[in-house]
Amino acid sequence: MEGFDVIAGIDSDPSCKYAYEKNNSSKFIQADIDGLSGDEIAKFYPEEAIKILIGCAPCQPFSTYTNKLKEKNWKQWSLLDEFGRLVEEVQPEIVSMENVPSLGSKDIFKDFVNLLRRNDYHVNWSNVYCPDYGIPQQRTRLVLFASKFGVIDIIEPTHTPAEYVTVRETIGHLPPVEVGETHESVSLHRAGLMSAMNMKRIRSSLPGGTWEDWDESLRAACHRKESGKSYYNVYGRMEWDKISPTITTQFSGFGNGRFGHPEQDRALTLREGALLQTFPPNYEFFEPGSEYYFTHIVKHIGNAVPVQLAKVVARSIRVHLDEYERQ
């Protein structure tokens, strides 16, 4: 969308193949990066091309919640090291990555930055608040750039707080659907199922409210405990005229976050999650006419870098390269 030739992408999940190749006119490589060599990646770049390598290690091991778990339990901790190894072997002119802000305080990130600097990269990173760039969700991400040519600065914000894109502006035009229903004419406008208890709970939930709005009989066991009384980030409805919470792979479940629709008695549909992640309405997640797994699409949408943030990264690189070429 920003004029770059996306030549290939690597992921261990084979269910990504159709969407990646169809929407990017690109090659999908199913592999774990720890089993790839730099030579295997380097062969994809055309001769004389300015090589750009972008990586995104899974954010789960660096998140606030899973930081409580022992680091050694996570294979994903090593993937940033593997990305650094590939950078060192390929020596692309431009490198970028994004992750959760808490990664910036980890030794593994500091080691990665030091590796880049040893390889003569100019490194710059910042924590980016996504609504500042027209993304309608309360998401902050660490975005890193590294270049052989000089420092890459992220482009200036495009939106002020008064201009933040709201839930209403993003999904308010969609027709209503019931729990478990798929709209006949809006692709992916499909809502997940909900238990009878959660149906009672969502009917008692107010936009922006909490489980404290419910009758005592509806409250979950965890909320009855002293340790759970302040835990408000589940079983919530979104608010029309505010930005949404961060979209995760749990966005299709009412009990997994503040993913309740502002008015309708259900969690977000696949289409609503995709729009809040700023996917274009014509993005194809599965081959037309084929069956698809609801859980696969939820995962693809929830794990994605918001498309608008990816565009901001690409535009920042393009501005940098334009400046380099003028020198």
Quick one: angle between helices 79-90 and 107-118, nearest 10? 0
Q: How far, in Å, CA of 280 to CA of 22, rounded?
A: 14
Q: Which of 234, 286, 288, 281 is nearest to 259 (CA)?
A: 234
Q: How far, in Å, CA of 89 to CA of 163, rounded?
A: 43
Q: How far, in Å, CA of 107 to CA of 75, rounded?
A: 16
Catalytic residues: 59
Q: Is 27 exposed, middle or buried (0-12, 13-18, 19+ CB in 10 A)?
A: middle
Tokens of 88: 């060192």
Give the CA angle between residues 270, 272, 273 to the nearest 5°: 65
Q: How far, in Å, CA of 135 to CA of 133, rounded?
A: 6
Q: Contact 142/99 with Cβ under 8 angstroms? A: yes
Q: Where are the beta strands (DSSP E) in 182-327?
A: none
The set of residues, in sequence order, having a beta carbon less than 8 Å from that of 57 and lying 6+ positions away, is: 76, 79, 80, 83, 97, 99
Task: Find the Cα–Cα–Cα–Cα dihedral 88, 77, 12, 135, rounded to 10°.
Answer: -90
